[in-house]
Structure 1
Amino acid sequence: MENVQNKRRAKAVIETSFEALPLEIQTEILSRLPLKTLMKCICTSKKWASLIRTKEFINLYMSRSTTKPRLFFTIYQYNITTSSKPSRNISEVLFQSVYHEEEPLLSSGQQQVLLSPDLGYEASSPVRGLICHRLNTEFMIFNPGTNKSQHLAEIPLPNKSAPLRFFFGYDELTDVYKVLCVAEVTKEEQHVFTIGTNEAAWRQITCEHQHSPTPTAQGLCKEGVLYYRARSSTGRGLVMMFNVRSEEFSVSELPEDMNIENGWDVSNCRDPRGWELVKYINGADRAVALVDDSQFSHEVVYEWNWNKVFHIWVRNEVAGTWSRIRIEIPFYKKTVDVPTLYFFRGTTRTGKLVFSMKHFLPKIDGKISIYVYYYDPETKDLRQYKIQGGEKGHCLRFYLDHVDTPMLI
């Protein structure tokens, strides 16, 4: 008799529908699903769709996603015309991401999205799983994990052909995303768009510091502050800071001996004298740093033991100053694939230094192969990993700590 009752209970449990489970258990199960599965759930049930799109569920999903950060790559394929005035029209952009700091490293959870944008297309650095796209004066927020997007209002500029740079940021305390547009050396044409508000319009704000973002400036968002490289009206190199919450600008003066120049080699898709903003973690210190890409050129002389030595400038947020730090990688030249150039791209959350390619990706078996190096300062271990990319590519942009988000799903 007891066995019969147990079988009946087991059958009842099996036949219990998902909807019959308590809401907190449904939420817990859904929050552990990959993005593609969540998209199927939204199409399957209106109730699930309503639950997945709530603020509470998004926050829960993001809290799990941030514990499994991704490496994110943007591969640009150009149509290059050889003439007296060469053009480099974008034909395709491949967004690709993989999990990192897992085994097998750089091969699990791979995602790919291919776009074919028009001339004038630009993309921001990813922020909490989202990217801001720009095509002339039109903008949209894009989720590469779901291939979904949200169009923003067109920015109202009196001079639509004026040089314009844009940056995408997020403030943790207010849980707000904003897009900042900065015109060329002017106080009057700074605009901000707040995502997810009822305004749905650009607002003009004022910056008291005359500056122009460098043509290659990629914003770096850290703890509610947007950092980007710029130059003053006198041509001096600067790092500008924009507080996403208060919408106030501030300037970080750079040391005289940093010798930052602003140059852009359009034909080679690179900044020959480029300084990149990266996140640098050293123990408990989490800072913004500047690295000079020229230190990774072929002309750099290695030490007699083939160690790689380079320097970065790290910002002290409390004092507002920059300090020069020497970094040495033992036997770098013996391990790294020479003559390909690998540039320092920042540190992982566990403090590992990451080096990646930047442009002119080589093909292996008809496919682009992306190589990444991880260096552990504690164990002195330098390891190479390969990621299979797309069919073709000329320029690579590389970002750490990308995450999955159910926003715009």
Structure 2
Amino acid sequence: MENSSFDTVFSLDLQKHIMSFFTLKSLAKCICVSKQWASLIRGEDFAKVYLTRSVDRPRLMFMVSRDRTQPPEPEMSWFHDVCENPSMETLFHSVYLKEKEEPLLSSGQQQLRISYVQPITCSALRPVQGLVCLHLDNQIVICNPGAKTFRKLPEVDGGNSEVCINCFLGYDKATDVFKVLCISLYDMSETPITTYQVCTIRSTAGEESWRPITCEYGHKPCDDGLFIDGVLYYKAERYSDKARVIMSFNVMSEEFSVIELSEQVSRGGHSWDLVNYNEEIALPAPVGYNTSGLQMWVRDQMGEWLLRSIPIPPWKQTVEDKPFYFVGNINRTNELVFTDSPSLGNQNLPYIVLLYDTNSGDLRRFKIEEVKGHYVETFVDHVDSTWLI
């Protein structure tokens, strides 16, 4: 066929379908082929097709804080200018989660390292729709870990020892935009001063800016939050009575509300992490050697807190005499994911992941040799995304 090409032989829909199987690294190369391919890959329609396929190929992401092991990556040059001779680094390591694969998580590995100098710390929010929000002192950055691309947001006022900055990332499906909620707290007086701001991030780079918003519920955030179906949730301490509550923030309407904890939940759940369990917020207890199962408080669609107990018969035969932590479930495989303690202490020790299949009753144990550090966080809801490519 004379003068035939990928563009002329295949329809636009078929081109999108074929490219949806490409890795992010391959798509980044395709962007350089032609303006037409770049427009297709960066288009809103292709982003939806790619994300839909990515959901069927879930990833497990580990965020590792450790001593720096290698020279800083060139992609982080925007941060190296203000961070000379970095001594620490945060590693993002993600892999496809395949059913019954041995060894676990051996395919599709992606890694990104961010170097920094203490006392600056690098914290990251749970991934949302394939993106991660990085918080480096008073610098907020939106990152696509798989593509190793970034978008810096305007600096937030404060970021010193007297001002505590908390950030939360959410996605508004109706308008196809991400939003970062930033709460700055000056807590050096009897009456804390709190400011609330929002920054909207669109697919095409623009002049992002922080917009002030109001919140009638005075509170202090206590964790990095959880995003479920258009709503951000995070644990907080209410100023008025020092009670522990869960705050919710509707990403589309930008309105706050308070979720009260029942007396039973309050008695035992202060130190429990906020987890996404079947698209509902849950407060699970650590699972120890003598517990032989998972217990957690789950808030149902009617707003009631229910205690769920999931026995795991082979637990004692599989784990060591130490606690494991429930970090979420994988709907596609009906598996519960448990991880080692986030604070490993010795960064030479391998990280342990447990997967419990609620259908078959199988409990699988894996050592993740690539993940070693002083502190490790695990996220089960990461996907590939073409945002920021």
Both structures adopt the same fold (TM-score exceeding 0.5): yes
Please tell me the residue identity of whatever aligns with 1:193: C
| Equivalence for 1:117 | 116
Matches within 5 A, 1:2-401: 12=1, 16-21=4-9, 22-78=11-67, 91-104=88-101, 105-118=104-117, 119-156=120-157, 161-184=162-185, 188-196=194-202, 200-214=208-222, 217-233=223-239, 234-259=241-266, 274-281=271-278, 286-293=279-286, 295-296=287-288, 301-302=290-291, 308-318=292-302, 320-336=303-319, 338-350=320-332, 351-361=334-344, 369-390=350-371, 392-401=372-381
Return the offset for 1:395.
0.6
2:37 alignment partner, SS class = helix
**1:406 is matched by which residue type in structure 2?**
T
1:95–1:347 CA distance, 2 compared to 1 (3 A): same
Give TM-score, length-normalised by structure 1.
0.80
Deviation at 1:94, TM superposition (A): 0.7
- Secondary structure of residue in 1 paired with 2:310: strand
Could you say if the C-alpha distance between residues 358 and 301 of structure 1 is closer, same or farther in structure 2, counting changes exceeding 3 Å? closer
Q: Distance in 2 between matches of 1:246 and 1:331?
A: 46
Q: Secondary structure at the match of 1:189?
A: strand
Question: How many pairs does the alignment contain?
Answer: 358
| Deviation by residue 1:132-186 (Cα, 9 ceiling, x = unmatched) | 1112222110000011100111224598831221111112233221101123375
Q: Percent identity between the aligned chains?
A: 40
- CA–CA separation in structure 2 for the residues paired with 1:141 and 1:261: 35
The CA distance in 2 between the partners of 1:261 and 1:102, in whole Å, is 34
> Which of 394-403 and 194-203 deviates more?
194-203
Q: Whole-Å Cα distance in 2 between the matches of residues 124 and 372 of structure 1? A: 20
Could you tell me how far apart the structure 2 residues matched to 1:159 and 1:111 are? 33
Determine the C-alpha separation between the residues in 2 that align with 1:362 and 1:235.
32
Of the structure 1 ranges 182-191 and 327-336, higher mean CA displacement relative to structure 2 is found in 182-191
CA–CA separation in structure 1 for the residues paired with 2:13 and 2:131: 27
On the 8 A contact 2:348/2:373 being kept in 1, the answer is: no
Assess if the C-alpha contact under 8 Å between 2:137 and 2:159 holds in 1.
no
Q: List alignment gaps of at least 5 residues for structure 1.
A: 1-11, 80-88, 263-272, 303-307
Deviation of residue 322 (structure 1)? 1.0
SS at match of 2:274: strand
Corresponding position of 1:268: none
State the AA in 1 paired with 2:217. H
The answer to whether the 8 A contact 1:187-1:207 is kept is no
8 Å Cα contact 1:373-1:384 kept in structure 2: yes
Distance verdict in 2 for CA 1:212–1:72, change over 3 Å: same
How far apart are residue 78 of structure 1 and its match? 4.8
- Distance in structure 1 (CA, Å) of the matches to 2:200 and 2:50: 22
Give per-residue Cα distances to partners, 1:104-151, cap 9 Å, x unaligned. Answer: 242121111111134132211110110011122221100000111001
Structure number with greater Rg is 1
Partners of 1:156 and 1:147 in 2: CA distance? 27
1-structure distance, mates of 2:178, 2:24: 21
Distance 1:188 1:352 in 2: 40
SS of equivalent residue, structure 1 residue 290: strand
Distance 1:137 1:309, change over 3 A: same
Assess if the C-alpha contact under 8 Å between 1:76 and 1:90 holds in 2.
Answer: no
Q: Which moved more, 1:51-60 or 1:190-199?
A: 190-199
The CA deviation at 1:29 is 1.7
Moved more, 62-71 or 379-388: 379-388
Q: Show structure 1 runs of 4+ deviating over 6 A.
A: none
Residue 90 of structure 1: CA displacement? 7.0
The equivalent of 1:7 in structure 2 is none
Per-residue deviation, 1:275? 1.2
Q: State the Cα deviation string for residues 343-362 of structure 1 (Å, max 9, x = none).
A: 11121113321111133549
When the two chains are superposed, the root-mean-square deviation of aligned CA atoms in Å is 2.6
Could you tell me the TM-score, scaled by structure 2's length?
A: 0.84
Tell me: CA distance 1:90–1:280, structure 2 relative to 1, closer, same or farther (3 Å).
Answer: farther
